[in-house]
Structure 1
């Protein structure tokens, strides 16, 4: 239990630096969605704060006038990105103001919160003209308590969203996906008792299959409290005592059916503190490494994976609903995958929960991508905040097996120092999962006919991901079956990205890269698969990528036109020839 208490010390130290939020708004009775049509103003020159848009003023006399109005103007869907909703905003980066009214019957004996699943990239929030808080980071939740501000009856909520890329941001100025701005995930108004359940962790004890352990955290108490944990199917009806700081730790002997991709068993769980009740569905499993193997529930497993973005290419926008998640994940399952890398940022909680119930293991990553300004001291603080928010939100999801700290970063003294600190920080928050990162600095040694990777960070992580586009950005140096690999010997290696581009329906020579043909992509996949047989510590493959996706960095006017065409499936949902190559490989594997 000492590790659990240490976890709380870490969380309390972070609380003064980062936004905190209650986990699992979906399992709370008094969580009201604020989704739907919101009024909006496009603030091209960033003048809205100076003109006090957040006051949402109306003319009050014959001589009074106001030079802005939310009513009777632009309306945007929440959740959703603003870039895909009207053509004029396709490439827009900057300020957009959102506004809506909502009516409540305020419980004067309780507390009230405004909660956002994610806003990209910065958010400032006002309620009834009063600023309640700000948040930076485009892919994790945040909340603000509004107990003293919310009114019985109609309330006026205003949110300033800014998706400008910034040099000291995470990600930074250049990244290979569309910079969708907006209130991109669910928004909630949540009422709680004065003392409420803010956080909990209920998972198998590390390295143990018959003990469920964890903690429950109450907010708003200075006296001991009783908490109940109910898992009826396991005959668990456990009462635990929270101390004056609201922390209750526990260990419960149990023999749950373990979560597996083939049989993703989930249990209904209820946590009760007086009138505050939270419900969840949880799976239980162990994950560890042994030599170059990854062991799921003590047995070696091969990760048959795929990457995907949080995007629905058919309507050129952010995925944000259960229907969107089902579309993406059904294609993951159809390919024969048991694993997915949600590149390159924490994705929607709806999607992760659905993936858990479908038996899909997850590599989850913060958006430390190419071009991060590692010499800037603020980067470590921002990265730690994003890691903390990701792990805090998703620690109960049994399908998440890898926390990833970075993708495709170049070794420098500053970078090595920060990533090493992030590895330690991740383990301090959660030591029950594996820590990984993806590297693109693996190079071919001609004399030895061998690919090698020299990177200090590989020494401190559990799983090494290799991104290598052989046959696309560089040709195969020799025949694939003759290529040797000496990478992270003794540790599990995942080919976390590989592939090439093809325009669906375009045909050409299988050995001519510039044909952008399905035949070239198909042959490239076959050659890579032949080469993978020579990686002795290979425990998984995750091609790049499931769907073609939008990227401003793709300039070829005919074959790309603003799209990265590496998808196994086109932007219209059509499966390319390479899809069938991977399908067959996974079927045989």
Structure 2
């Protein structure tokens, strides 16, 4: 643990993590952090479906009238002992919400609600000898306090990352109940902070499961190509349980490769070995292999793709070849409903729309999306930018805020570190320059490299140096990034669409740049002259003039315009046009394509042909 603390401290001070220390960090993090991984491939009992709910805007179910935590709050799920007993709530007759799901789009009265909602689910459990049980939450926005059979298990802060509790000793044979207090109230000290440009969906927004494992099991495994190698598989395993020092076998049966290692007393072991028969994963060829990690009675099994990702000068190299990222930004918002995505089919719809645009890349903004989205992107061969919600202006000098961001970053990487689709971990979006911010974000960049040295670090920056016709990339954070993301809204937040085509760009860093956001808004079906705001013609003019600009940037290696689909945002109140929607989508919230959709589709078709030519 001391190595983990040392590296995070060095990162916070802006010092890059050294390779030996990075390995120690990965070991310490794997040993110390109890998050279950590879949950979709473990035996589990789903607790999804209808949950009873109590809306509690004054938190009377948690605090007494003296505003101290009550020992007999709603989490006790009390029933009157007799006819005269006073109990002023009843989960069993309360209304219901579907889990996973947000409360905002399921109940009109909760559309703008921010506060506490209590969730309760009863379920039957039957103990299996030799097994352990974990209560696993895909995500809850934002502060969750979890109780099982009236007793507190723990709590979790952060709206987009998973968490779990071991519950075997607290489960009863037969009927059990779980109660969760979910509070989506925004605070200045949160990640994201209280000011953002997307909807603050509340609730148990992702799946809830009771996961079963053997008494000794593989909690986590990292199986990837070694950084800088095209044929050496390397990684580590973390075994949990009383027999954790027993031998572990890591194998890729289809490639006829395996390695056997013996973990240390903490259950941790590293491995490596050259694999001769290993096809590379990539767009157009999303080859995945069945990987097995065996320890005693447990087999950790997953489908994993193998690829290399690195930079050289201005180039991003995928499997050793320069690649241009034809991307699009998207929120985790469901087509048609406008609420939080809750099904794999909704993930597929979003990704298929991206493929229709000829995208080989998606930027998942501005927080970790659900695990099914990452796995589906990997299955389809779509590259992924994944980021934490360090967004706009936060309290850079607050240690608790840094700890929150660091934890969310670790959660994101821990969950998805075997997904070949993820090539970029992003530490921030549109943050203002300054010494405290640089210290904060360079620390997070160091943490990324310590936890996962096989991928690239990025962040979405803004232009801070601009003169007539020239924009210079010189944000000091750039020195800590592998790939520099730039958000630039020429033609929408500055200048006319026609002014964009002649803009020139300079880069003070010998690093690849991705235009991580550009675009403009339009109300689907609104038409008029190309210089009239909110028309599809104006949005198309913004895009087509930005294409001219992008084509003149020699160090540009990709773009992800904003955004795939219109999404709800409280910052967008313009009546009869926005109506609490950010209208920069290429599709409406109902999935209707705007004119700019087809302009980007054609532009990417040309880009795809261009980068398929020899020498690219």
Structure 2: 5+ residue stretches without partners: 1-18, 64-71, 608-616
Give how far 1:556 is off: 0.9
CA distance in 1, matches of 2:539, 2:579: 18
Which is worse superposed, 342-351 or 270-279?
Answer: 270-279
Give how far 1:260 is off: 1.1
User: Structure 2 matches for 1:505-544, cutoff 5 A?
Assistant: 505-512=525-532, 514=533, 516-544=534-562
1:463 aligns with 2:483: yes
CA distance in 2, matches of 1:110, 1:418: 42
CA distance in 1, matches of 2:177, 2:28: 36
Which is worse superposed, 478-487 or 65-74?
Answer: 478-487
1:25 aligns with 2:43: no
The aligned counterpart of 1:65 is 86
Give how far 1:280 is off: 0.8
Give how far 1:321 is off: 1.0
The aligned counterpart of 1:49 is 62
Partner deviation per Cα, 1:463-505 (whole Å, 9 max, x = no partner): 1111111101111497444321013442101110000000111
Do 1:464 and 1:488's aligned partners in 2 also have CA atoms closer than 8 Å?
Answer: no
Q: Which one of 411, 419, 429 corresponds to residue 389 of structure 1?
A: 411
Do 2:22 and 2:450's aligned partners in 1 also have CA atoms closer than 8 Å?
Answer: no
Give how far 1:380 is off: 1.2
Give how far 1:63 is off: 2.3
Change in 2 beyond 3 A, CA 1:421/1:362: same
The aligned counterpart of 2:69 is none
The aligned counterpart of 1:553 is 571
CA distance in 2, matches of 1:175, 1:13: 35
Q: Helix, strand or coil: the match of 1:248?
A: strand
CA distance in 2, matches of 1:2, 1:111: 34
Q: Helix, strand or coil: the match of 2:234?
A: strand
CA distance in 1, matches of 2:25, 2:231: 22
User: Structure 2 matches for 1:440-589, cutoff 5 A?
Assistant: 440-446=462-468, 449-476=469-496, 479-512=499-532, 514=533, 516-589=534-607
Which is worse superposed, 578-587 or 244-253?
Answer: 244-253
CA distance in 2, matches of 1:314, 1:294: 36
Q: Helix, strand or coil: the match of 1:38?
A: strand
Do 1:313 and 1:550's aligned partners in 2 also have CA atoms closer than 8 Å?
Answer: no
1:216 aligns with 2:244: no
Give how far 1:12 is off: 6.0
Change in 2 beyond 3 A, CA 1:490/1:223: closer
CA distance in 2, matches of 1:216, 1:31: 22
Do 1:221 and 1:244's aligned partners in 2 also have CA atoms closer than 8 Å?
Answer: no
Partner deviation per Cα, 1:95-133 (whole Å, 9 max, x = no partner): 010001111111343322101011111111000111001
Q: Helix, strand or coil: the match of 1:306?
A: strand
| Alignment root-mean-square deviation, CA | 1.6
Give how far 1:239 is off: 2.7
User: Structure 2 matches for 1:249-398, cutoff 5 A?
Assistant: 249-255=270-276, 256-398=278-420
Q: Helix, strand or coil: the match of 1:587?
A: helix
Which is worse superposed, 67-76 or 487-496?
Answer: 487-496
Q: Helix, strand or coil: the match of 2:329?
A: coil
Give how far 1:83 is off: 0.8
The aligned counterpart of 2:206 is 185
The aligned counterpart of 1:428 is 450
CA distance in 1, matches of 2:509, 2:151: 57
CA distance in 2, matches of 1:65, 1:322: 44
Change in 2 beyond 3 A, CA 1:321/1:488: farther
Give how far 1:237 is off: 3.9
Q: Helix, strand or coil: the match of 2:112?
A: coil
CA distance in 2, matches of 1:233, 1:245: 31
Give how far 1:258 is off: 0.2
CA distance in 2, matches of 1:9, 1:428: 10
The aligned counterpart of 1:112 is 133
TM-score by length of 2: 0.92
Give how far 1:90 is off: 0.4
Do 2:497 and 2:545's aligned partners in 1 also have CA atoms closer than 8 Å?
Answer: no
- Count of aligned positions: 580
Which is worse superposed, 52-61 or 486-495?
Answer: 486-495
Structure possessing the higher relative contact order (Cα contacts under 8 Å, 6 or more residues apart) = 2
Give how far 1:6 is off: 1.4
Do 1:180 and 1:318's aligned partners in 2 also have CA atoms closer than 8 Å?
Answer: yes
Change in 2 beyond 3 A, CA 1:3/1:336: farther
CA distance in 1, matches of 2:91, 2:519: 46
Give how far 1:533 is off: 1.7
Do 1:124 and 1:134's aligned partners in 2 also have CA atoms closer than 8 Å?
Answer: yes
Do 1:38 and 1:99's aligned partners in 2 also have CA atoms closer than 8 Å?
Answer: yes
Q: Helix, strand or coil: the match of 2:54?
A: strand
The aligned counterpart of 1:404 is 426
Do 2:250 and 2:293's aligned partners in 1 also have CA atoms closer than 8 Å?
Answer: yes
Q: Helix, strand or coil: the match of 1:312?
A: coil
Give how far 1:2 is off: 5.1
Q: Helix, strand or coil: the match of 2:522?
A: coil
Give how far 1:376 is off: 1.8
User: Structure 2 matches for 1:157-236, cutoff 5 A?
Assistant: 157-221=178-242, 224-236=245-257
Do 1:120 and 1:139's aligned partners in 2 also have CA atoms closer than 8 Å?
Answer: yes
Partner deviation per Cα, 1:167-211 (whole Å, 9 max, x = no partner): 100000110000001111111101222211111001101111111
Give how far 1:228 is off: 2.2
The aligned counterpart of 2:29 is 11
Which is worse superposed, 375-384 or 89-98?
Answer: 375-384
Do 1:311 and 1:317's aligned partners in 2 also have CA atoms closer than 8 Å?
Answer: yes
User: Structure 2 matches for 1:237-252, cutoff 5 A?
Assistant: 237-252=258-273
